[in-house]
Each structure stands twice: as structure tokens, then as C-alpha cells.
Structure 1
Amino acid sequence: MPFATTRASIAAMGTTLTPDMLGAVRGLFDASQQALARRMPVRAADCAYGPHERHRLDIYAAPDALHAPVLVFVHGGGFLRGDKGSNAADGWPNAAVGRMAAEAGMVGVVINYRLAPDHTWPAGSEDVLAALDWLAANVAQHGGDPNRIVLMGTSAGAVHVAGAIRLRPDLAVRGAVLLSGLYGHTPLDPRDMAYYGPQDRQAERAPGQALTETAIPLLVAVAEFDPPRFQAEFLGLMQARLDRHGTMPRGHVASGHNHYSMAMHLGSEDRRLADEILDFVRETCA
């Protein structure tokens, strides 16, 4: 589908997140993402990185991958839902990010993690750390270099990536990619309480200070049609980094996209954000 048509369709959806919007966005990219799935099937599925049934990850890589950089993707879902996708024809959402990395000569990893309300803060970030520990010991068997890992998350997944940096400041990753996350620069939404707990615990649990201070290279992105809260979070993090370091991290505004299409279009014909991410991985893993 031509980008101008896609952009017009996404713009018409507005910025309020609904199940109907999610379904409509998926429909825009279904054909191209199913084609990617046929080109790049999963290499290792449902690898257990911990004891819980949600402690599972999939690995995407070309058969000849060797010592390749590793991009680990953490899905969104408002802390309450979401899935890493699958090799089924209709299972491409989130899995497409792993396939995008694999098609670029990297190893792509997509993880599941425990969900609220049964598993509250900091369970998601602890699961990201557990997945990283598993990959450090096992990803070489699948063509990846355990010393060249970049973390990436979207929405709640970006929160969990940021939280992993908060929990382990010396995290052994080359970089972190944060798409439309919440970092503590705006008040919590009532539904976020299912993960974070009471409102008065936000300040101590938000990852904003860790992201402001970390020396881990960051790529921070937001969508043109993201809800205003996510745009304010993007600006808040960029300003905090500027105030602390005298320079902003690498940033990207995904024009023509919304909160859902931000990750869902990766691997499609619109290469702008994908190229930004892949260039970031190559540069930080050089």
C-alpha cells in the first residue's frame, strides 16, 4: 500500500487508543508482514528463559548467521496483555520486529513476559533481565554474539526495558531503543496502577532518573499520532537528557504513524524507522 494512503488512513484514526484502531492498523500491514513471515521463519520457538509459562522467547536468524548483533524486542500491551507472536500466518504482530532484524543480517529475539494484574512492578523488567541472562548463555548457538546485544521495547515494553536499566545500571547491552514509552515525566493513568501500584509509588518506581543518568546509548522514538501523553514523555526524556548531558540522545519522530503502527509497520515497505533502528544497532555494536 502506498505510504500516502497509509498515512491518510492512520491520520484519520485520531490518537485515542481503542481495539478498533488496533485492528484497523493491523489490516494496513497484514499483506506485507505475512510476506515477511514467509521469507523469514522462526529459527527457534518458545525457548524457556525462566520457570513461568510466559518466560518464553523466539529467535529469528538466517541459517548462516554467525557472531551477529542481537536485537531483543519487548512487546507492548498496556502491562495487561500482548504476545511475542508466532510463525502462524496471522501471528506476525511483534514477531515482525525479530524478522526485520534477521533479514538485515542480525539475530532478532522477541520475548514474552509476565503480565499485570497478577504480576506487578517490577516483574516485567525482571523478566527482561532474565531473558538477557539466558541469551548471554545461549544466543551464540543461534548465530548471535552475546557481547553485542541491543534492547528494544514499545509502549509497556519500552517501560520494561527502561526498568531493566533502572534495576541493573551496569546492564551489559550496547544500546536501548525506546518506542513510545512512559518514563515518569507525566502522571500515571488509572489503568497503569494495575502494574505500578498506588499513585504515590510512581516517583520511586518510574525509570526516568535511570534513563537520564545512564551511559547506555539510547534511541528514543515517538509517533506523530501518538496520544499526547506519550509525546510529552518523549519530550520530557529528551529535555532531561539535554539538561544532564548537554545533548539529547538519538531521537526519531515517526511521521504518519500512531501508537500501534509504530512497531506494527516495522519490516514493511516503510523503511524510515526500521533503517534508523538498524543503523543504531550497527553503530553501537561496531
Structure 2
Amino acid sequence: MGTDLGPAVLAQCRALFDAEQLALVDQVPVSVADIAYGPHERHRLDIYRPQGDGLVPILVFVHGGGFLKGDKGGHGGGTDAWPNANVGRMAAQAGFLGVVINYRLAPDNVWPAGAEDIAAVVAWIKDHAAQYGGDPERIVLMGTSAGAVHVAGYLKLAGDRDICAAILLSGLYGYTPLDERDTLYYGDPALYAERMPLEAVAGTPLPLMLACAEFDPPRFQAEFLSLMQDRLARHGAMPRAFIHSGHNHYSMAMHLGAADRRLANEICAFVRDTTA
């Protein structure tokens, strides 16, 4: 498929994992769906609860979609609406409380709406997650593509309080030039540098895990490598990182929970290590 993005590639990727992911829908059903964490119609989250008792670490997943689209999947879209919901199922299977969210979309909702929505999710979790079996003191945020940008934006907005770690899959942090599409979220290109989360994500003392796909577009690969180098320069050590061979920008999150466990194992080990 190469490194291209677009609806055709997205559909091809989905076809690769449809059978495996659909088989998991009934095995790991959503525990509670469409919980409101704020006033907007997109302020909704789904919870995937593991078996067993006691409070467990919480993995919050933020979907991608280029700032303009995307959905948490699962409830409301039928059993075939598995993309993104599969990450919540993966979390529950690993013994974590999986939380998969929607957030406000551009162009109607511009910077810093995404970061603000994640802050609202974290605040909701702090107040309510214990009743669903999640430990509000052990929160890890994970985002892919635009979702990774919003997780990084949360670090810029809220700093390192309230969460234990962050996982960033194929995000954009401010190392490469602005793309025209980005202006639909960030607004005036003259304000791009001050609005990007580069300083926050490079400088945070929080544990980070970074991942990139072998067939991510070159801009995403450049961002991954630049953040790795920046973290090394600032902290004297690289963050946990993973380059996923055989995958592209879409399949990075879409395959989680399926037979290829390489990235899932890295994610789950990182969550356990940072919430122990």
C-alpha cells in the first residue's frame, strides 16, 4: 500500500483485520457506552472493563482522523463499528480499564479544543473511574495521529499532573512545516509555533512511549525521529520507542487486539511498568 493516506488505503487496512476484530466484539463487549464527560455532543466515552476485582490501571485511547473526523466506534454503530473500540478491548484483555473517547472536531472546534477535551476526560476519570474498577491514580493516555497530537496538547495545557505516562503513535509535534490541513485546527500559521506542543512533549518528565510505522508518511517518520533526538538531548536518554515493521499509519491502531501482538505487548508492558 505504500505510505499514502486516504479513504481507499483506510478501507484496505480495515479489510485486513475485519474478521479478527469482529470475532472479539462479543468476547469483550463494551461495559458502559456513551457516558457524557462534558456538555458537547462529542463529549462521550466508552468503558471496557476487565474481569476480576480491585482497582486496575486505566488506559485512555484517543482516536485519529486528521482533526476533522473519527469516532470511538463500538456502541451505536453496530458490531462492525470496531475500529478504535478494538483498543478498549485490548486494554480490558490485558487487565486494564479501557476508556475510548470522542472529542470535538475541527473546523468547528479549533485549538486547543482537543487538549481541553482530554483534560475534561482526565477530570471525569478522577471523579468517577473507581466505580467502574479503574484506579484514578494510575492513568495512561494514548493517542494515534491527531489523537497523539491532542495527548501532547494535554501535556502543554495541563503539564504532568494527574497522569502517569503517555503513549504517542504517529503524531505531529511541531518539528516539520505546517500542512494546509493543520490550519483547520491550529488557525493562523503565524501562531503555529507557539500553539504546537513541541516544548511540552519534549520536555515533560513523564515517561513517554513513542511509536511509528515502517510505512508511515515521511512527515510522521521525521517527527518521530526528531522527538527521539530531542528527548535524548534534553534528558540524556531516549524514551521507550517502537518502529512497527509491516504496518502503516492506519494499521498501527487498527490491528491492536489482533494476532500481531508486537506493539500490543510493548504498550501493555509500558502501562504496567509506569503504573506499578
TM-score (norm. length: structure 1): 0.94
SS state at 1:187 partner: coil
Provide the alpha-carbon RMSD of the alignment: 0.8
Is residue 24 from structure 1 mapped to residue 17 from structure 2 by the alignment? Answer: no
Give the corresponding residue for 2:189. 199
- Give the 3-state SS of the residue equivalent to 1:251 in structure 2: strand
Residue of structure 1 equivalent to 2:250: 260
Residue 278 of structure 1 corresponds to which residue in structure 2?
268
Deviations 1:237-280 (A, max 9, x none): 00110111111101000110000000000000000000000000
The correspondence for 1:134, drawn from 124, 130, 152, is: 124
Residue deviations 1:220-239 (CA, integer Å, cap 9, x gap): 00000000000000001001
The answer to whether residue 33 in structure 2 is matched with residue 50 in structure 1 is no
Question: Which of 238, 242, 257 matches 1:248?
Answer: 238
1:4 matched residue in structure 2: none
- 1:71-106 CA distance string (max 9 Å, x none): 000000000000000132111100000000001111
Shift of 1:24: 0.5
CA shift at 1:47, angstroms? 0.4
Q: How far off is 1:37 after superposition?
A: 1.2
- The 5 Å alignment of 1:157-172 reads 157-172=147-162
What amino acid maps onto 1:208 in structure 2? L
Which sections of structure 2, spanning at least 5 residues, go unmatched?
none
Distance 2:175 2:55 in 1: 38
Counterpart selection for 1:62 from 29, 50, 75: 50
Q: State the AA in 2 paired with 1:275.
A: N
Q: State whether residues 25 and 261 of structure 1, in contact with CA within 8 Å, keep that contact through their aligned partners in structure 2.
A: yes
Is this contact kept in 2: 1:78–1:155, CA < 8 A? yes
- For residues 4-19 of structure 1, what are the structure 2 equivalents within 5 Å? 13-19=1-7
| Aligned-residue offset at 1:18 | 1.1
**What is the distance in 1 between the residues matched to 2:226 and 2:65?**
22
* Alignment partner of 1:115 out of 105, 113, 135: 105
Aligned equivalents of 1:170 and 1:189: distance in 2? 28
Aligned pairs for 1:230-245 (under 5 A) are: 230-245=220-235
2:217 aligned to which of 227, 237, 242: 227
Give the distance between the partners of 1:189 and 1:216, measured in 2 at CA: 28
The equivalent position to 1:81 in structure 2, one of 65, 69, 76, is: 69
What residue identity is the alignment partner of 2:110? T
CA distance in 1, matches of 2:53, 2:129: 11
Q: Tell me, in whole angstroms, the C-alpha distance in 1 between the residues paired with 2:70 and 2:142.
A: 15
Structure 1 position 199, deviation (Å)? 1.3
Output the amino acid matched with 1:76. Answer: G
Q: What is the SS of the residue equivalent to 1:39?
A: coil
Aligned residue for 2:212, secondary structure, equals: strand
TM-score, normalization by structure 2: 0.98
- Structure 1 residue 65, shift from structure 2 partner: 4.3
1:98 aligns with 2:88: yes
Query: Deviation of residue 66 (structure 1)?
Result: 2.4
Shift of 1:283: 0.3
CA offsets 1:32-65 (integer angstroms, 9 cap, x no match): 1111111100001000000000000000013534
Secondary structure of the corresponding residue to residue 41 of structure 1: coil
Deviation at 1:196, TM superposition (A): 0.5
Note if contact 2:51-2:95 (Cα within 8 Å) is conserved in structure 1: no
Percent identical = 65
* Partner amino acid, structure 2, of 1:140: A
The separation in 2 between residues aligned to 1:191 and 1:43, in whole angstroms, is: 36
Unaligned runs of 5+ in 1: 1-12
Of the structure 1 ranges 223-232 and 205-214, higher mean CA displacement relative to structure 2 is found in 205-214
**Displacement, 1:150?**
0.3
Q: Is the 8 A contact 1:49 1:57 kept in 2?
A: yes
Kept in 2, the 8 Å contact 1:69–1:106? The answer is yes
Instruction: Specify the SS of the correspondent of 1:78.
Output: coil
User: For 1:110, what is the secondary structure of its paired residue?
Assistant: strand
8 Å CA contact retained: 1:84, 1:112: yes
In the TM superposition, structure 1's runs of 4+ consecutive aligned residues that sit over 4 Å from their partners are none
